[in-house]
Structure formats: structure tokens, C-alpha cells
Amino acid sequence: METQELIRISFRAILSNKLRSFLTTLGIIIGVFAIILLVSIGAGLQSYITNQIEGFGSNLIFLIPGRIGGARTPGGQSSNKLLISDTKTIQLKLKNMASVAPIVQQISTVKYKNKTDKGVSIMGTTSNYIKTVKNALVEKGSFFNFAQEQSGAKVATIGESVKTNLFGNNNPIGKKVYISNNTYTVIGVMKKRGAIFGIDQDNIIIVPVAAAQQQFGLTHINAAYIAVNNQNQIADVKDKVSKILLKRLSEDDFTLQTAESSLSIVANVTNVLQIALGGIAAIALLVGGIGVANIMLVSVTERTKEIGLRKALGAKRSDILKQFLLEAVILSLSGGIVGIILGLTASYILSLFLVSQVTPFSIILAFGFSVMIGIIFGMAPAIRASKLNPIDALRYE
């Protein structure tokens, strides 16, 4: 019997019991939905990490307060003990090996004429920053230089969102903005970076660390970038920085991360997430598969007489086997297709405010899974149908 005819028979059988067919495929729909999401989020995180590391640069060491991946001190979150002066010490001692860019941050309100932008992240750093962080680029105007950094000049390079909010389409260079109540001169605009995990990366104003320190009375850093001149020395520099800090602080007070070590942390998170989603997918697909097997057994019983008739008219065992196997596969595959559509929609929505990336691989995977479920769980009912004795089947009422 030709495939086209088999497909027609299967569709007719499935569509003659629409509600039942739909309910049967629910498990498959959920399972495939989970697979698509799983792969999309996995791929999204993967490309996010890759981008971050590319932007980060493989010669970078990232210094943050507290300890990541180790036991916290009793009493919870350890307080930030990293001082601006620590980064100065590091810079001084490693003058020939690395350049250090500390980051201090303060949320503040910014005003220009009658326009106000609340909740802007004011970031203080050194002129090293623009050399160190690869994906920080100046779009227009300039970044502050070493002299401005040293003098604590009140100059600002603003993010894209701040520019749009305060200046619209006008040129902001040379204009004076108020950060809290201090006046800063805008000298540049940063290139747009978009949102990461729903946080706008362009709602930012970058100023010399000395200026921020003086205005907000900041003493501690949020983080620091340490760019190593010679990439081969990265381990050596990490070691040296650690030793410098340990003179004043304990091991629990700071973490030094390189591209490689941060990659492994994110990879761990990704793995946990993937295992969880994978588990949901596996259970849903198993339940879905059992549903398919169950409904196919019912279908074989209901159509005992039809099977008997087909055999009387010349259907071979293999014809009957194919007919019911294909019906199971089509049933499972239609669930799979609905699951794929829902999964793609969800991945797309997710990609708007979280990392998520639809890949052709996930669609192929989901397709493959639903066909496989249909074959595996449709096999027993189909074999049962094919083994029916024609007269017994014809007599069945």
C-alpha cells in the first residue's frame, strides 16, 4: 500500500476523533514545548557568554568584592571591603604588567534644562576603562583622558538612553548636565549596548572616578577590570594581585575572575537549567508517549472489524502494521508541531527581555523526538493490530 494512501487513512482516523486526538497529544505538546525552550535558552546563554567574553577580552581579570563559589561567612553576605585605594595600590605595583580600571557606581537623578532622568547609573572609572573593556566604545565625542582623570574634572560620557531622554535628537557634546546638584560637561556619547537580562546597559553616565568619589563620598569599588599587557602573564598577574590584596584583606573578601573562570560559573548555571528543563521534557514526553500508546490500543480495539475486513480484502500483516504505526506517528507529530509553534513563540517572547535564541537544531530535535515517540509507543498497538486473525476480527461486534 502506498504511503500517500496510508497518510490519508491516518488523517481520517485522527480527525474523526478530534477532541480525543488533541487530548492525547497534550503530553507531547508540553514535552516538545519544553525541548524548544530548553535549547533556545541554552543557545541564548551560550551566545550571551561568548559575546561577554569576546567583549571582555581574554587578557582581562575581573575583580569583585566578596567570594563567589565558596562558603560565605556565617551571618550571610559579606560586606564590601574593596577600597578605591586598593586598585591604586595594584596599579602602582603592577605598573609595567597591567592597567587597572576600577568601577564605582551610584544611582542618581540627572537633569538638563527642564528635563529630568531618574535612576541613572553614574559610573566612576579611570581612563583605562575605554582601553580595557572591548565592547565599551565611544560613538561620538570622546572619553576622558588621564589628565582629566587625575584632576577629577567634572566631565561625562553619556549612554545612549540618557542622551535620548535628555537631549532627544540634539547634539549633547559641550552641554552641561546636573548630576544630583553638581554640574558636568558632556564630552561624549557611548555606543549602544542594548539590554542584558532586562537591564538597560545604556542608561549610564561615565565620569572620572575622582569626581564620583568626591561628589558622592564613595570609598569602595563595585568592581575593577585589570587588563594584562601580555596575555601569557594572566595567571602570574592574578597571583600577584591576590597577594597584594591578601596583605590587607582575607580570601573571603574578594574574587578574581578571568574569562575562563567566569565561563565555568555560567556554564554551571546553564547546566542546572538545562537539566531541569530536560527533566520536564522527558517526563512530559513519556506521559505523552503512554497516552499515544493507550489511545492507539483503544483505536485498534474499536477498529477490530475494519482490520478484519482489510485482511479479508488482501491486506498483509505489514500493511496493517504500517497503517497503525503511521497513525501513531502522525498523532505524535501533530502534537510535536503544535509544541514547536508554542515553543518558538515562547522563545521569541523570552528573547525580548531575557537571553534566548531559536536555533534550527531545536526544531529538528523536537521533530525527531515526536517521530520517535510515535514509533516507540505506537509499535505495540500496531503489532497487536497486525496479528489479529481475520475471521475473529470480522466477527467482532
Residues of this chain that interact with another protein (CB under 8 A) are 1-2, 5, 12-13, 16, 305-306, 309-319, 390-391, 394
| CB of residue 313 to another protein, shortest distance in Å | 5
Q: Where are the beta strands (DSSP E) in 146-222?
A: 155-158, 176-179, 182-190, 195-196, 199-200, 204-208
| CB of residue 323 to another protein, shortest distance in Å | 11
Which residues are CB-neighbours of 121 under 8 A, at least 6 positions away? Answer: 105, 106, 107, 203, 204, 205
Contact assessment for residue 297 and residue 384, using Cβ atoms and an 8 Å cutoff: yes
> In this complex, which beta carbon is closest to another protein, that of residue 142 or of residue 304?
304
| CB of residue 296 to another protein, shortest distance in Å | 17
> In this complex, which beta carbon is closest to another protein, that of residue 122 or of residue 300?
300
Residue at 6: amino acid letter: L
For the four alpha carbons of 172, 176, 178 and 179, in that order, the dihedral sign comes to: positive
> In this complex, which beta carbon is closest to another protein, that of residue 312 or of residue 364?
312
> In this complex, which beta carbon is closest to another protein, that of residue 10 or of residue 40?
10
> In this complex, which beta carbon is closest to another protein, that of residue 309 or of residue 371?
309
| CB of residue 330 to another protein, shortest distance in Å | 16
| CB of residue 383 to another protein, shortest distance in Å | 14
Strand-pair category, 115-125 with 204-208: parallel
Length of the chain: 397
Q: Which of 209, 225, 208, 260 is nearest to 91 (CA)?
A: 225
Residue 314 CB burial class (10 angstroms; 0-12, 13-18, ≥19): exposed
| CB of residue 338 to another protein, shortest distance in Å | 24
Q: Which of 226, 252, 230 is nearest to 241 (CA)?
A: 226
> In this complex, which beta carbon is closest to another protein, that of residue 14 or of residue 189?
14
Q: Which of 185, 191, 217, 216 is nearest to 204 (CA)?
A: 191
> In this complex, which beta carbon is closest to another protein, that of residue 238 or of residue 303?
303
Helix and strand counts by DSSP (H, E) for the chain: 13, 12
| CB of residue 293 to another protein, shortest distance in Å | 23
| CB of residue 359 to another protein, shortest distance in Å | 40
The three cell numbers of residue 160 are 545612549
Q: Which of 174, 165, 102 is nearest to 133 (CA)?
A: 102
DSSP H or E stretch at residue 63: strand 60-65
> In this complex, which beta carbon is closest to another protein, that of residue 252 or of residue 319?
319
